Amino acid sequence: MLEDGCTNHCSFCKTHYYPKKIESINEQDALNYLRKKIKNGTKIISLSGENLTLYGIDIYKKPILHKFIHELAEETDLNYIIVNEITAQNIYPELLEELARCKKVVQVSLQLESASDKILKAMNRGHTLEEYDYIIRTLQEQGKIVDTILMSGFPIETQEDLEKTINYIKERKIYVEGIVDYADFYAIPSHELEQLPYKEKRRHLKALSEAIKTSNYEVLENVMNYPFTNASIVVGHNDKKVYLANSMTHYSMKKDLYELPLGTIVEEQPKRIVKRMRSTINYQYKY
């Protein structure tokens, strides 16, 4: 967590109703901390924040995530960087360029919520689908895996809006990490919109969940062929198992790799990971 707080005003989000300003960790402190981790064997670093795109604006008066990633990537013993909580509304040219260009950045999370421009506007997300799509295409063209979070049951969401989202995700091959079931709250702006009846809301969630299970499976099957997703790292042992992790999941295997020391990078069967990811798709996110 490099940063906490967000200055955006998404109409469904409760974040800005609390007096929570942006607070970033000093760049050099964070880099020194991570360099120590790398020295002790860390191979993958996942950077996160409440809205990581804004990292640094409180201390340096401008966002510096691009610079941070650039310096971190210079650590030769670090293999991969994963970047979470990037918002299309706040992305800036230098950051997009760094995310696309840096070979160690292998996965980027960019929340979409909905692929309907009508819904994006009602959510006050600050971008259109076209603007979001430009970022995704730029990253995918450079071989990055992109994942996202969707929202189901937002007020005024129609079947047509739902289908737009499902079709877009499938067509663009974006991995959906989670689905947020819209939760109403009297003090958020979206409370003023016409809420979906309970049964309709359930139906949207079910339809979206089912569609995403299939499309996620297809996305994962493809990305498993990428060199980095086939690679896992030995992260622990006990009497009977060796524990492996890659950027998408943790799982364990009996014996096969037991003799390998911590930090060893190995090849592993993708199917195991797909199976696990399929079973964990439904979960409630923050907000």
**Strands of 231-237's sheet in order across:** 250-254, 241-245, 231-237, 265-267
CB atoms within 10 A of CB 61: 8
| SS3 call for 235 | strand
> Which of 2, 3, 10, 268: binder of ligand SF4 (CB under 6 A)?
10
User: E strands, 104-249, where?
Assistant: 105-110, 145-152, 175-181, 231-237, 241-245
What's the CA gap between 165 and 130, in Å, rounded? 13
- For residue 48, the minimal CB distance to ligand SF4 (Å) is 12
At closest approach, how far in Å is the CB of 15 from ligand SF4? 4
**For ligand SF4, which is the closer residue by CB, 13 or 235?**
13
C-beta of 85: minimal distance to ligand SF4 in Å?
8
Distance in angstroms (rounded) separating the CA atoms of residues 277 and 272: 9
Cβ neighbors of 261 (< 8 A, separation 6 or more) are 234
x/- map, 79-98, ligand SF4, by CB under 6 A: --------x-----------
6 forms part of the interface with ligand SF4 (CB under 6 A) = yes
What tokens appear for 161 in the block? 């809006």
Count residues contacting ligand SF4 (CB under 6 A)?
9
CB crowding 110-127: b at 16 or more within 10 Å, else e: bbbbbbbbebbebbebeb
Q: Is 16 in the site for ligand SF4 (CB under 6 A)?
A: yes
Which residue stretch of 12-20, 37-45, 70-78, 161-169 sits at the interface with ligand SF4 (rule: CB under 6 A)? 12-20
Min. distance of Cβ 98 from ligand SF4 in angstroms?
20
Q: Which stretch binds ligand SF4 (CB under 6 A): 5-13, 34-42, 61-69, 197-205?
A: 5-13
Stretch that binds ligand SF4, among 4-12, 33-41, 143-151, 263-271 (CB under 6 A): 4-12
Q: Does 8 bind ligand SF4 (CB under 6 A)?
A: yes
> Any contact of residue 109 with ligand SF4 (CB under 6 A)?
no
Binding segment for ligand SF4 (CB under 6 A), chosen from 10-18, 64-72, 140-148, 211-219, is 10-18
- Of 217, 210, 208, 150, the residue nearest 178 (C-alpha): 150
Query: What three-state secondary structure class fits 259?
Result: coil
The answer to whether 177 contacts ligand SF4 (rule: CB under 6 A) is no
d(CA 235, CA 246): 10
Q: Report the nearest approach of ligand SF4 to the CB of residue 7 (Å).
A: 8
Residue of the chain from 2, 13, 234, 244 that contacts ligand SF4 (CB under 6 A): 13
Using CB under 6 A, list all residues that contact ligand SF4.
Answer: 6, 8, 10, 13, 15-16, 50-51, 87
